[in-house]
Amino acid sequence: MMIKVTLPDGSVREYEQGVSALDVAKSISEGLARKVLAANVNGEVWDASRPLNKDVSLKLLTWEDTDAKSTFWHSTEHLMAEAVESMFPGVKFWVGPAIDKGFYYDMDLGENSLNEEDLLKLEKKMSELAKQSNPYLRKPISKDEAVQLFTEKGDEYKLDLLSNLQDGNITLYSQGGFTDLCRGPHIPNTGFIKAVKLMSVAGAYWKGDEKNKQLTRVYGVSFPAQKELDEYLAMLEEAKKRDHRKLGKELSIYTMDDDIGQGLVLWMPNGTIIIEELERLAKETENAAGYKRVVTPHIGKENLYLTSGHLPYYADSMFPPMELDGTKYYLKPMNCPHHHKIFDAEPKSYKDLPYRIAEYGTCYRYEQSGELFGLMRVRCLHMNDAHIYCSKEQFAQEFRAVNDMYIKYFKIFGIEKYVMRLSLHDPAKLGQKYVNEPGLWKQTEDMVREVLISSNIPYVEVQDEAAFYGPKIDVQIWSAIGREFTLATNQVDFNSGNKYKLSYSNKDNGQDVPLIIHRAPLGTHERFIGFLLEHYAGKFPAWIAPLQVKILPISDKFMDYANTILETLKKADIRVEIDDRNEKIGKKIRDTEMAKVPYMLVVGEKEMNERQVAVRRQGKGDAGVKGLDEFVGELVAEIKERRGEEAINN
């Protein structure tokens, strides 16, 4: 019997029943087949070698696909288990998922333990086993049989897992000499795993409960090529050097204080300069794009957040209330309701739309203290916020303009890799998880998708992850060393207008409810500056560097000329200081390099006599001798244009 296989491009091919995704790949090309790690079959991830017995939609998954990566790491975890079992016969395994980057497995080693040396031995063993290209074999098994099997093995962990599984849905996977209770899927065979690194060992209580036995957790990562592993390890090494908490302290960007509170950032003068440059950029950009600015308080009454739906659903992520005059006041977790109130303060007509209001609004959110992390997870957020109130007709253009703004910023900051993650609703959940407006969902999702496609913006679609009130876009960006950050969301909202009773008079003198776009291209100062610290390794481009120029007189004799330079640069609004210490020029240069100041001007006899400066560029050394005015002119242009390539490639 033949079945029909529909591929992502819509083409339909016919195959014998029982064909595997791998067979389909081979029928297309051998090269493709060599890259296939798993398959998406009717929306589920399957082993590429599993037989297809009826008509299906099929997507072949390769290393580029997130689901394939997870499968790859999950299979590597089984490979690790095989190696561990060979080293410690009788070892018992609990669970071991693929994680964001790599995998882990929790195991009960009995009397044994693992040290760094053991990890190296395991890696070696895993390489040997991988080279055998043993296939991962899937075997459905009845619950009774499975219980019998693991009872015989005396494996209380798998028995515990089994107790929660339903008969008919249970499978075993085997490769080489190792068999595990596992839902799968897996890659075709171990030969795909070309490079493995076991990162660390840690203790982990069984089921996360400290009253239970402590198991041994081994973290690892693997790649289909040694080169990729090498790059990944180099990136980790670089990320450690670029840690925003380390750089934030070294460069006096921010501090925290126990008396103020966890997750509450005190921005020191250097950090504040960066904040002000970011806000200047945002204001210029938003001003040119027709936004108006507003300023709103940081608190609001209970009723505001009952209307928004925050209090009933997200009270846990808000600060607790302040009881005053018989009312509860809350620190605002977002700026939307305050902006809606400004929209509502005066009657609006269609002529006032699109009405765009922006504010670097400071919001407060409660994060568990264990979740707090440097600038990345904080409790006080300065948000590059704005709300656009528009008609349906205006929506596509407004949404496109917002996306253009993102792209403009990415260029300025040299962010070359980014993806927009478009979260859509699930029609089956209308009226529950999603506001019941099927027409508006279709319309806005289509409009958003069209804008993304026609703007040629890389994006992925995710089902069933929209906001309650409309589709949303999460923007993911990668730093210069390839680490991923979630920057901001960009949301369509066709519900808040109703909730807050917002309206405008249309051309027919009727009242319409505006659509609202929530957007924050620069995210929060906290997260964005944390990102920039890593992205630039603290070597900020001149326009945003806290100190832009340091003047290094070779000796005290040149202090007068150094002061002339200082005043000239200050007049051009350049942030400049003199290193007036009684130190050798070599030490002055080294210290200024360490402080990551973009430009150094070394001045001695010749420079003084000719009104010149000997320019050094941070990380690049000597950049030649220039006339003072020429240097000022060039730097002013660099700052004005917000040039940044130098800093990233540094």
Smallest separation, CB 321 to a second copy (Å): 7
Closest to a second copy by CB, 355 vs 441, is 355
| Pair of tokens at residue 346 | 């005066």
Smallest separation, CB 281 to a second copy (Å): 15
Check residue 298 for interaction with a second copy (CB under 8 A): yes
> Starting at the edge strand that comes first in sequence, how are the strands of the sheet with 327-331 ordered?
299-301, 327-331, 322-324
- Exactly one of 92, 244, 310, 382 binds a second copy (CB under 8 A); that residue is 382
Smallest separation, CB 267 to a second copy (Å): 4
Distance CA 528, CA 486 (A): 10
| Pair of tokens at residue 650 | 């540094």
Closest to a second copy by CB, 434 vs 500, is 500
Distance CA 643, CA 135 (A): 52
Place of tokens 């499968």: 71
Closest to a second copy by CB, 60 vs 273, is 273
Asked if 38 and 67 touch (Cβ cutoff 8 Å), the reply is yes
Distance CA 396, CA 378 (A): 34
Smallest separation, CB 396 to a second copy (Å): 25
Check residue 303 for interaction with a second copy (CB under 8 A): yes
Smallest separation, CB 381 to a second copy (Å): 10
Check residue 29 for interaction with a second copy (CB under 8 A): no
Closest to a second copy by CB, 121 vs 298, is 298
In order, the DSSP letters of 568-590 are: HHHHTT--EEE--SS--HHHHHH
Closest to a second copy by CB, 384 vs 444, is 384
Check residue 321 for interaction with a second copy (CB under 8 A): yes
Check residue 504 for interaction with a second copy (CB under 8 A): no
In order, the DSSP letters of 609-624 are: HHTEEEEEETTTEEEE
- Exactly one of 156, 323, 556, 567 binds a second copy (CB under 8 A); that residue is 323
| Pair of tokens at residue 206 | 């069984």
Smallest separation, CB 473 to a second copy (Å): 27
Asked if 188 and 47 touch (Cβ cutoff 8 Å), the reply is yes
Helix residue ranges, H only, 429-558 = 438-454, 496-499, 525-535
- Exactly one of 331, 396, 422, 424 binds a second copy (CB under 8 A); that residue is 331
Q: How deeply is 394 buried, as exposed, middle or buried, from its count of CB atoms within 10 A (0-12, 13-18, 19+)?
A: middle
Please, which of residues 193-252 interact with a second copy by CB under 8 A?
252
Smallest separation, CB 369 to a second copy (Å): 6
Q: Which of 509, 315, 500, 490 is nearest to 409 (CA)?
A: 490
- Exactly one of 292, 587, 606, 620 binds a second copy (CB under 8 A); that residue is 292
- Exactly one of 75, 296, 491, 592 binds a second copy (CB under 8 A); that residue is 296
Distance CA 625, CA 416 (A): 33
In order, the DSSP letters of 204-220 are: EEGGG-TTSPEEEEEEE
Smallest separation, CB 251 to a second copy (Å): 12
| Pair of tokens at residue 45 | 């991830």
Give, to the nearest 10 degrees, the angle between helix 559-571 and helix 628-640: 40
- Exactly one of 128, 257, 605, 641 binds a second copy (CB under 8 A); that residue is 257
Q: Which of 502, 531, 522, 120 is nearest to 361 (CA)?
A: 522
Smallest separation, CB 488 to a second copy (Å): 20
Place of tokens 């290393």: 63
Q: How deeply is 519 buried, as exposed, middle or buried, from its count of CB atoms within 10 A (0-12, 13-18, 19+)?
A: buried
Q: Which stretch binds a second copy (CB under 8 A): 334-342, 389-397, 461-469, 560-568?
A: 334-342
- Exactly one of 52, 107, 304, 390 binds a second copy (CB under 8 A); that residue is 304
Asked if 444 and 395 touch (Cβ cutoff 8 Å), the reply is yes
- Exactly one of 350, 366, 468, 478 binds a second copy (CB under 8 A); that residue is 366
Smallest separation, CB 125 to a second copy (Å): 46
Closest to a second copy by CB, 158 vs 365, is 365
Compose the 346-365 pattern: x for residues touching a second copy by CB under 8 A, - for all others: x----------x----x-x-
Check residue 295 for interaction with a second copy (CB under 8 A): yes
Closest to a second copy by CB, 122 vs 380, is 380
Smallest separation, CB 470 to a second copy (Å): 23
Smallest separation, CB 258 to a second copy (Å): 8
Q: Which stretch binds a second copy (CB under 8 A): 155-163, 225-233, 235-243, 331-339?
A: 331-339
| Pair of tokens at residue 211 | 């009253």
In DSSP terms, 616 is beta-bridged to: 600, 622
Closest to a second copy by CB, 167 vs 276, is 276
Smallest separation, CB 269 to a second copy (Å): 4
Q: Which stretch binds a second copy (CB under 8 A): 53-61, 80-88, 291-299, 397-405?
A: 291-299
Smallest separation, CB 345 to a second copy (Å): 4
Rounded to the nearest 5°, which phi and psi values hold at 597?
A: -80, 130
Q: Which amino acid is at 357?
A: I
The dihedral region occupied by 43, where left means phi > 0, alpha psi between -120 and 50, and beta the remainder, is: left
Distance CA 232, CA 407 (A): 27
Smallest separation, CB 319 to a second copy (Å): 5
Smallest separation, CB 641 to a second copy (Å): 17
Q: Which amino acid is at 593?
A: E
Check residue 293 for interaction with a second copy (CB under 8 A): yes
Distance CA 193, CA 443 (A): 45
Closest to a second copy by CB, 212 vs 287, is 287
Virtual CA dihedral for 638, 639, 641, 644, nearest 10 degrees?
70
- Exactly one of 110, 320, 347, 627 binds a second copy (CB under 8 A); that residue is 320
Please, which of residues 261-280 interact with a second copy by CB under 8 A?
261, 264-269, 271-273, 275-276
Binding-site residue total for a second copy (CB under 8 A)? 55
- CA distance to 23, 42, 76, 141, 162, per residue, from 138 (Å): 17, 19, 16, 10, 17
Check residue 145 for interaction with a second copy (CB under 8 A): no
Place of tokens 């010149």: 612
Check residue 316 for interaction with a second copy (CB under 8 A): no
| Pair of tokens at residue 412 | 């300025």
Closest to a second copy by CB, 304 vs 492, is 304
| Pair of tokens at residue 94 | 């609990």
Asked if 83 and 193 touch (Cβ cutoff 8 Å), the reply is no
| Pair of tokens at residue 640 | 């004005």
- Exactly one of 26, 35, 194, 301 binds a second copy (CB under 8 A); that residue is 301
Residues that bind a second copy (CB under 8 A): 252, 255, 257-261, 264-269, 271-273, 275-276, 292-301, 303-304, 307, 319-325, 327, 329, 331, 337-338, 341-342, 344-346, 357, 362, 364, 366, 369, 380, 382
